[in-house]
Structure 1
Amino acid sequence: MGLRTNPSQRQLRLGEELRKLREASGLSATEAGAHAGLGRAHMSHIETGRTAIPESKLRTLARVYGCASQPYVEALVAMSNATGKGWWSAYRKTLDQRVLDLAELESAASVHRTFDWLYVPGLLQTEAYMRALFSSGHPVADSQTLDTYAEFRLSRQQVLDVDKPPTLHAVIHEAAFHMRFVDTAIMRSQLTHLIEMAKLPHVHIQILPFKATTYPDAMGAPFVILEPAAPELSAVYIEHPVSALFLDDPSQLAQYNDAFESLSSSALAPITACPERVTYAKTESLGLVQHLLYVL
């Protein structure tokens, strides 16, 4: 089997984790590989995500490295055994690898935490809202391309509708609802959709109002924190117009987790759908959403 020329984010992360474990153990690639019957070159390809590693050899290396966390080891095994094939595979020839990586990581995460300044997060968008964004952001794109973008995002949203869905916690800045690249009717429908989504027990939506004073220094761009069953394998996905970015350094993860907690603490209480009428002045997210529906 040839070496991978374009490893996925999952494959890169597996190799990176194995390299970190080896370096923490103080072993060289040659020394570690000798325990698992792997040469130095083969170890290098594994640690750069360019080739796979059999489960038995992965478990051998984890034992040699002194890895004591069984859940972590099992998570590494699951990453290694994953085929990378899912509904997103149909888009490999049409969409950027980073977007496909996001879909794969979303499918494996048990917790999603997301913050956005200017847009409603993708997993919470209505089809009309996302199409308006795509049309505005890609004015020269043909209808088929826009259809592809919309279909892909709608497919991503299905992760919230499975038997054991992840927890989604979204903090959205109030500014996102005042942008004029989406017309009023679409925005009103989007706001109503947020109320409906908030009825799901695993979806928590907060609005960060203009009056909030919190401004974490890491928040120059929208981000998503994806946490799988083993928190050590969490990743931050940062959206950027030129190229999306994945971060997994422990210090970076800590920075973004702290920033999200700060944003959540400063945001209004989560949207909660209740039968009684909530006044527009009430200081919670539902009250602000209702106010926006009234003034738009």
Structure 2
Amino acid sequence: MSEESGKGWWTAYRQVLPQPVLDLAELEAAADALHSYESLFIPGVLQIADYTRAIFMSSQSERSTSELERAVQFRMERQKILTQERPPTLHAVIHEAALHVRFGGTAVMRKQLLYLIRMAEMPHVTIQVLPFTAEGLSAFSTPFLLIGSHGAALDTVLVETPASSLYVHEREAVDKYTTRFARLSSTALTPLDAKVPASAHDSRDTLSLIQHLLYSLQEI
């Protein structure tokens, strides 16, 4: 990675976006696997543009229209790793709270939920929802992204806070987050699978929950 550093598509955004954001794109480009836990947002690589734009517009940061659009474009570029020739596997656990926060309004949120269903059709994408009813876990623990790379040799954890983005590389810390993600996944609803017939779905699996929310978002 050190030999490749600075040569990716993200370098075009050096004058627009902060370095930690560019570092994330570089790490994702070299990743074999991504394990994401989000409590209040849909993971960035699964967001539609309007949803992303609404998040940026609701933040306190002062951005011009052109800067905001460049940031949206950057996030959309990041998503291309999922459709490249050899994509990393993506396993996302999303807290149910994130599905209720309507960034961009009802129409945008409906499109976003439908997009999650489409993305889950990819064989290398797994999406689960951690319901409000989950027991034994902090409902709003700090979001994190486990980035697996080069056979665990370059495994990294990104921990996002309102103040900063922290990248963790120490093996002991990475192992702790790996265990944490496994626990979140085991507690979450079964993965989203649109190919399974409706009659086979449990009343509280991930697809059924999303379909219930889609019904509630229908415009009257």
What band does the TM-score fall into relative to the shorter chain? over 0.9
Given that 1:112 and 1:166 are in contact with CA atoms closer than 8 Å, whether structure 2 keeps it comes out as yes
Tell me by how many angstroms 1:232 deviates: 2.8
For the structure 1 residues 213 and 275, does the alpha-carbon distance in structure 2 shift closer, same or farther, using more than 3 Å as the test? Answer: closer
Aligned counterpart in structure 1 of residue 41 of structure 2, from 112, 119, 128: 119
Given that 1:115 and 1:172 are in contact with CA atoms closer than 8 Å, whether structure 2 keeps it comes out as yes
Aligned counterpart in structure 2 of residue 273 of structure 1, from 186, 194, 197: 194
Query: Aligned partners of 1:114 and 1:144: how far apart in 2?
Result: 29
Q: Residue 286 of structure 1 aligns to which amino acid in structure 2? A: L
Tell me by how many angstroms 1:216 deviates: 5.8
Aligned counterpart in structure 1 of residue 208 of structure 2, from 269, 287, 295: 287
Query: Aligned partners of 1:109 and 1:181: how far apart in 2?
Result: 29
Greater helix percent: which structure? 1
For the structure 1 residues 175 and 230, does the alpha-carbon distance in structure 2 shift closer, same or farther, using more than 3 Å as the test? Answer: same
Query: Aligned partners of 1:236 and 1:278: how far apart in 2?
Result: 39
Tell me by how many angstroms 1:278 deviates: 5.1
Structure 2 match to 1:5: none
Query: Aligned partners of 1:91 and 1:290: how far apart in 2?
Result: 37
Tell me by how many angstroms 1:139 deviates: 6.5
Q: Residue 82 of structure 2 aligns to which amino acid in structure 1? A: L
Query: Aligned partners of 2:166 and 2:95: how far apart in 1?
Result: 21
Given that 1:216 and 1:259 are in contact with CA atoms closer than 8 Å, whether structure 2 keeps it comes out as no
Given that 1:214 and 1:262 are in contact with CA atoms closer than 8 Å, whether structure 2 keeps it comes out as no
TM-score normalized with structure 2 length: 0.93
1:142-181 alignment, distance < 5 Å: 142-181=64-103
Query: Aligned partners of 1:96 and 1:250: how far apart in 2?
Result: 26
Q: Residue 247 of structure 1 aligns to which amino acid in structure 2? A: V
For the structure 1 residues 275 and 260, does the alpha-carbon distance in structure 2 shift closer, same or farther, using more than 3 Å as the test? Answer: closer
Query: Does 2:18 match 1:91?
Result: no
Structure 2 match to 1:20: none
For the structure 1 residues 290 and 110, does the alpha-carbon distance in structure 2 shift closer, same or farther, using more than 3 Å as the test? Answer: same
Given that 2:94 and 2:128 are in contact with CA atoms closer than 8 Å, whether structure 1 keeps it comes out as yes
Structure 1 residue ranges, 4+ long, deviating more than 4 angstroms after superposition? 278-281
For the structure 1 residues 268 and 89, does the alpha-carbon distance in structure 2 shift closer, same or farther, using more than 3 Å as the test? Answer: same
| TM-align CA RMSD | 1.9
SS in 1 for 2:190: coil
SS in 2 for 1:231: coil
Q: Residue 191 of structure 1 aligns to which amino acid in structure 2? A: L
Greater strand percent: which structure? 2
Which of the pair has more CA radius of gyration? Answer: 1
Given that 1:222 and 1:239 are in contact with CA atoms closer than 8 Å, whether structure 2 keeps it comes out as yes
Given that 2:128 and 2:190 are in contact with CA atoms closer than 8 Å, whether structure 1 keeps it comes out as yes
Tell me by how many angstroms 1:220 deviates: 3.3
TM-score normalized with structure 1 length: 0.70
RCO comparison, higher one (Cα < 8 Å, 6+): 2
Aligned counterpart in structure 1 of residue 135 of structure 2, from 213, 221, 229: 213
For the structure 1 residues 181 and 162, does the alpha-carbon distance in structure 2 shift closer, same or farther, using more than 3 Å as the test? Answer: closer
Query: Aligned partners of 2:149 and 2:122: how far apart in 1?
Result: 20
Given that 1:280 and 1:288 are in contact with CA atoms closer than 8 Å, whether structure 2 keeps it comes out as no
For structure 1, the 5+ residue unaligned runs are 1-78
Given that 1:198 and 1:204 are in contact with CA atoms closer than 8 Å, whether structure 2 keeps it comes out as yes
Given that 1:216 and 1:262 are in contact with CA atoms closer than 8 Å, whether structure 2 keeps it comes out as no
Aligned counterpart in structure 1 of residue 154 of structure 2, from 230, 233, 241: 233
SS in 1 for 2:191: coil
Query: Does 2:110 match 1:188?
Result: yes
Query: Aligned partners of 2:104 and 2:22: how far apart in 1?
Result: 26
